[in-house]
């Protein structure tokens, strides 16, 4: 008979967030697939548990996944965990869970912390409808495509970010969401220097321009509130608006397109192209 796969959430900072079910799952597992075995061994040592471990990380997901599935089909139980938080959420695990479903293997959630929900719960932003956006790509093209997709989002948006990329991300937020957009910065959750700061994009940008960001960050951005009239503008309307702005402000068409597209359903490049066509 096939074994099972436990998808085990682990603390995001505070070891007191370990749960009895987490311990039980590690004990019930024949082996543990860990993102970084050096990190997970510390947790296991803390619990006094010794188990065989294999590393399961970004660059070996498919092959290791097939290997894990093979062992589970042969009857072993596997616990999968990441360095911190819930596997599969911007962490390894998603492919393994898909492979498990495809092979009829039972997947058991061992619930626990995840930075996304922890941050949202204390953010002071609307929680009724939200979307998790993970990390913005470091590749410029994908990053801008991603921001274009969420530019008109009305739900609360949650992003993960690394400290060395925070400043650039805040600059991009200013461009796409505006300086006045409400933003909560949730830093070092459940740790000694935990900080929950309900602010605006502009204020946060000013602060982190002066102070270098330290620690782990979740950014919770309020959804946009758009006037129906702006949403209903056609591309042709916005292209005309672009030309008007360009002429009245005496600025290049690219800059005018950036201003004209705000709160509309169109990207600045769409508006730029349409305005160029109008100009002939
Ligand atoms: N799977 C994990 C989870 O469920 O929370 C997230 C893993 S992702 C690779 C790591 C990112 O999560 C960090 O860069 C940061 O954005 C966020 N994060 C993790 N722990 C955090 C904490 N204690 N405080 C704030 N953000 C945290």
Q: Report residue 252 CA to chain centroid gap.
A: 35
For ligand 1, the distance from its centroid to the CA atom of residue 89, given in whole angstroms, is 9
Closest CA to 21 of 2, 45, 47, 53: 47
* 89 in any annotated domain: yes
Predicted confidence at residue 280, as pLDDT, reads 78
Rounded Cα gap, residues 78 and 75, in angstroms: 10
User: Of 221, 249, 266, which residue constitutes the final position of a domain?
Assistant: 221
For ligand 1, the distance from its centroid to the CA atom of residue 35, given in whole angstroms, is 14
Candidate from 7, 92, 110, 115 with most ligand 1 atoms within 8 A of CB, to mutate? 115
- Antiparallel, parallel or unpaired: β 217-221 and 156-161: antiparallel
- Whether 183 and 242 share a structural domain: no
Q: Which residues pair with 78 in a beta bridge?
A: 5, 31
- Domain coverage including residue 28: 4-113
Q: Mean per-residue pLDDT for 11-23?
A: 97
User: Taking each helix axis from N to C terminus, what angle separates 140-150 and 166-177, rounded to the nearest 10 degrees?
Assistant: 40
Candidate from 22, 91, 160, 192 with most ligand 1 atoms within 8 A of CB, to mutate? 160
Residues with CB under 6 A from ligand 1: 12-13, 82, 84-86, 89-91, 114-115, 160-162, 186-191, 216-218
- Whether 100 and 26 share a structural domain: yes
CB 200 within 8 A of CB 182: yes
| Whole-prediction pTM | 0.85
- Whether 98 and 165 share a structural domain: no
User: Of 84, 113, 142, which residue constitutes the final position of a domain?
Assistant: 113
* 227 in any annotated domain: no
* 230 in any annotated domain: no
Q: 229 falls in which pLDDT band (50, 70, 90)?
A: low
- Whether 196 and 264 share a structural domain: no
- Whether 98 and 129 share a structural domain: no
Domain count, the chain: 3
Give the pLDDT confidence of 61-101 residue by residue, as tens digits: 888 999 999 999 999 999 999 999 999 999 999 999 999 99
């Amino acid at each position: 008979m096939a074994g099972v796969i436990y998808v085990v959430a682990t603390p995001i900072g505070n070891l007191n967030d370990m749960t009895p079910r987490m311990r039980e799952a590690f004990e019930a597992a024949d082996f543990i697939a860990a993102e970084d075995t050096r990190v997970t061994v510390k947790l296991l040592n803390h619990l006094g548990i010794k188990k065989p471990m294999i590393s399961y990380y970004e660059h070996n997901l498919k092959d290791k996944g097939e290997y894990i599935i093979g062992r589970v089909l042969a009857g072993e139980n596997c616990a999968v965990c990441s360095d911190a938080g819930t596997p599969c959420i911007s962490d390894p695990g998603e492919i393994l869970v898909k492979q498990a479903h495809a092979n009829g293997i039972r997947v058991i959630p061992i619930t626990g912390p995840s930075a996304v929900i922890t941050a949202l719960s204390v953010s002071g932003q609307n929680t009724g409808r939200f979307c998790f956006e993970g990390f913005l790509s470091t590749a410029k093209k994908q990053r801008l495509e991603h921001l274009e997709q969420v530019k008109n989002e009305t739900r609360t948006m949650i992003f993960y970010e690394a400290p060395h990329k925070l400043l650039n991300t805040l600059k991009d937020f200013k461009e796409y969401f505006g300086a006045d957009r409400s933003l909560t910065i949730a830093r070092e959750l459940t740790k000694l220097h935990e900080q929950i700061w309900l602010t605006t994009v502009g204020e946060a940008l000013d602060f982190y321009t002066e102070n270098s960001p330290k620690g782990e960050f979740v950014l919770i951005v309020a959804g946009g509130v758009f006037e129906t009239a702006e949403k209903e503008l056609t591309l042709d309307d916005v292209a005309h608006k672009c030309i008007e702005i360009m002429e009245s402000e005496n600025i290049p068409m690219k800059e005018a397109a950036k201003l004209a597209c705000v709160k509309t359903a169109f990207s600045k490049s769409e508006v730029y192209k349409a305005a160029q066509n109008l100009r002939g």
